[in-house]
């Protein structure tokens, strides 16, 4: 999954920003995030197409503090280390 890192203060964000809210810099680099820590998850059992009928949406935090969401069919608990990837429908994750 791609995140955006401020080139001045190294704060990370899921979405590209015009200006870093922490330091005011306009410079950002894209970085690939492959692991994170699970903060919480929600088990979904009635979902729209094209998603499976039974999966979890997980809120995660990267090493530099950026937070985002991924989905998984595995049982994920708070504090679990995650491998983050992408598929055609967005971010996916699995416990390490």
Q: Which CATH number goes with the domain that contains 57?
A: 2.40.50
Mean pLDDT of the chain: 91
Long-range contacts of 24-29 (CB under 8 A, 24+ apart): 28/4, 29/4, 29/5
- Residue 39: pLDDT band (50, 70, 90) is very high
Mean pLDDT of 69-95: 93
- ∠ CA(60), CA(62), CA(65), 5° rounding? 100
- Residue 47: pLDDT band (50, 70, 90) is confident
The parent domain of residue 26 ranges over: 2-95
Number of structural domains, the chain? 1
Does position 52 have pLDDT exceeding 80, yes or no?
Answer: no
**Which token pair is 47?**
């979902």
């Amino acid at each position: 999954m791609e995140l955006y890192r401020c080139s001045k203060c190294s704060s990370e964000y899921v979405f590209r920003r015009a200006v870093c809210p922490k330091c005011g810099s306009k410079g950002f680099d894209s970085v690939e995030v492959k692991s994170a820590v699970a903060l919480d998850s929600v088990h979904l059992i009635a979902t729209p197409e094209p998603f499976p009928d039974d999966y979890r949406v997980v809120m995660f935090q990267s090493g530099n503090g950026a937070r985002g969401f991924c989905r998984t069919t595995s049982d994920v608990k708070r504090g679990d280390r995650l491998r983050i990837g992408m598929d055609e429908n967005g971010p996916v994750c699995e416990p390490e």
